């Protein structure tokens, strides 16, 4: 995966890619005291559109507050504008967007109040997070030997960088065992989420997903629940056990990076037909059109990066008419 881009936004400046570096003595690197977002921008008929920009920008700010930052120099609206600027200037058709608020300039002794927050935003091309054939064939998963965080140990509603050491342990183990993704159980032993995705189970035509107490309140999860309802499916949030995964008709996962992908095998047990199932397929079809602004009922989820054509036409008209009257 190439991560090269033209510019990275750093504390209000667009810095050329090679120059976007930070000092070794940045506490965020030592203690994981940073928060991040994962967002996608998709090419649409009206140019690049950031999917659910408002929700992502708001979650970034909330994550920073959960981590303990008390005064932040940016509002979510300013973060959203900075994200659009970064997408626009880098000119990718589709890209993944990674804003990070990190503890900088002091902050040693493990006290966040001794440092200050910095914000940086990078974009890069990140297709096929779970592999090239994932959308067609689904992927293979294992139940991790590592437990997901207890919500009083790490704050699972916040995308705190340090939380992701837990995901890295699980994902690396999973890959070394020959799987594509790991499913993590919560401290009580119920299904929580994958290392970077929320999880859904389909059984007898109904859809189930774990409640949000121990997992990230995924923005894709929210979009999938809306789409599933609109397609006429019942969606229930309730605890799910490991063997309820084994006996499901379909299991699928979703997240910004992974998008919406079926799990065709879990712990060497085939799930349903062993291929992407019909309900997963119907949700995928709508989801992948919605993110590209092709469905009017979900267009409010798309934040277009370029000004609308009509407003630039208005400007041209007014400039022209000014010229004519002078
Ligand atoms: N759970 C976890 C633990 C998680 O990291 C993500 C996103 C989700 C659920 C889905 O959330 P949402 O993107 O709002 O639908 N994981 C991000 C990071 C992945 C990475 O490898 O880095 C992502 O998908 O951007």
Q: For residue 40, count other CB atoms closer than 10 A to its CB.
A: 20
Cα separation, 301 vs 56, in Å, equals 11
β-strand partners of 8: 15
Angle, helix 219-230 to helix 278-290, in steps of 10 degrees: 110
Question: In whole angstroms, how far apart are CA 148 and each of 17, 203, 299?
Answer: 35, 24, 34
CA of 254 to the centre of ligand 1 (A): 8
Burial of 217 from C-beta contacts in 10 A (0-12 / 13-18 / 19+): middle
> What sign for the dihedral angle of Cα 67, 186, 36, 26?
positive
> What sign for the dihedral angle of Cα 49, 52, 54, 58?
negative
**What number does the ligand 1 atom closest to the CA of 98 have?**
25
CA of 256 to the centre of ligand 1 (A): 6
Active site annotation includes 159? yes
In the chain (326 residues long), the average pLDDT of successive 10-residue segments reads 93 98 96 98 97 98 97 97 98 97 91 96 94 92 98 96 98 98 98 98 98 96 98 98 98 98 98 97 98 98 87 45 36
**What number does the ligand 1 atom closest to the CA of 55 have?**
14
Domains of the chain, residue spans: 7-124, 134-288
Topology of domain 134-288, CATH: D-amino Acid Aminotransferase; Chain A, domain 2 (3.20.10)
257 CB near ligand 1 (under 6 Å): yes
99 CB near ligand 1 (under 6 Å): no
CA of 38 to the centre of ligand 1 (A): 6
pLDDT of residue 196: 98
Q: Are 44 and 302 in contact (CB under 8 A)?
A: yes
Residue of the nearest CA to atom 8 in ligand 1? 197
Classify domain 7-124 by CATH number.
3.30.470.10
**Residue of 37, 183, 257, 291 to test ligand 1 pocket, by largest number of atoms within 8 Å of CB:** 257
pLDDT of residue 308: 74
- Tell me which of 19, 159, 171, 275 is the catalytic residue: 159
Cα separation, 93 vs 230, in Å, equals 29
| This prediction's pTM | 0.94
Phi-psi region of 189 (alpha: psi -120 to 50; beta: other; left: phi over 0): left
Cα separation, 104 vs 27, in Å, equals 6
The closest alpha carbon to 167, from 141, 144, 191, belongs to 144
- Return phi, psi of residue 270, to 5°: -70, 135
pLDDT of residue 310: 64
pLDDT of residue 324: 37
């Amino acid at each position: 995966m190439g991560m090269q881009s033209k510019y990275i936004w750093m504390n209000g400046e667009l810095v050329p890619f090679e120059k976007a570096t930070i000092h070794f003595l940045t506490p965020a690197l030592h203690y994981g005291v940073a928060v991040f977002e994962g967002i996608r921008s998709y090419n649409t008929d009206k140019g690049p559109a950031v999917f659910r920009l408002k929700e992502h920008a708001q979650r970034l700010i909330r994550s920073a507050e959960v981590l303990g930052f008390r005064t932040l120099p940016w509002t979510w609206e300013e973060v959203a504008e900075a994200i659009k600027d970064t997408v626009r200037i880098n000119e990718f058709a589709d890209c993944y967007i990674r804003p990070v608020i990190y503890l900088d300039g002091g902050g040693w002794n493990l006290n966040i109040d001794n440092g200050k927050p910095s914000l940086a935003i990078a974009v890069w091309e990140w297709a096929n997070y779970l592999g090239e054939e994932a959308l067609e064939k689904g992927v293979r998963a294992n139940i991790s030997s590592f437990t997901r965080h207890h919500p009083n140990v790490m704050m699972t509603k916040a995308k705190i960088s340090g939380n992701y050491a837990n995901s890295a342990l699980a994902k690396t183990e999973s890959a070394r065992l020959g799987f594509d993704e790991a499913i993590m159980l919560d401290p009580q032993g119920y299904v929580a989420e994958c290392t970077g995705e929320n999880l859904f189970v389909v059984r007898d035509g109904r859809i189930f997903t774990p409640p949000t107490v121990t997992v990230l309140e995924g923005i894709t999860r929210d979009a999938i629940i809306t789409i599933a309802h609109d397609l006429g499916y019942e969606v229930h949030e309730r605890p799910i056990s490991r063997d309820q995964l084994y006996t499901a008709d379909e299991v699928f996962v979703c997240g910004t990076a992974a998008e919406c992908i079926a799990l065709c095998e879990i712990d060497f047990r085939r799930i349903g037909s062993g291929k992407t199932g019909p309900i997963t397929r119907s949700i995928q079809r709508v989801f992948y059109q919605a993110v590209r602004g092709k469905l009017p009922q979900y267009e409010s989820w798309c934040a277009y990066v370029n000004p609308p054509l009509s407003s630039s036409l208005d400007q041209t008209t007014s400039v022209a008419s000014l010229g004519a009257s002078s």
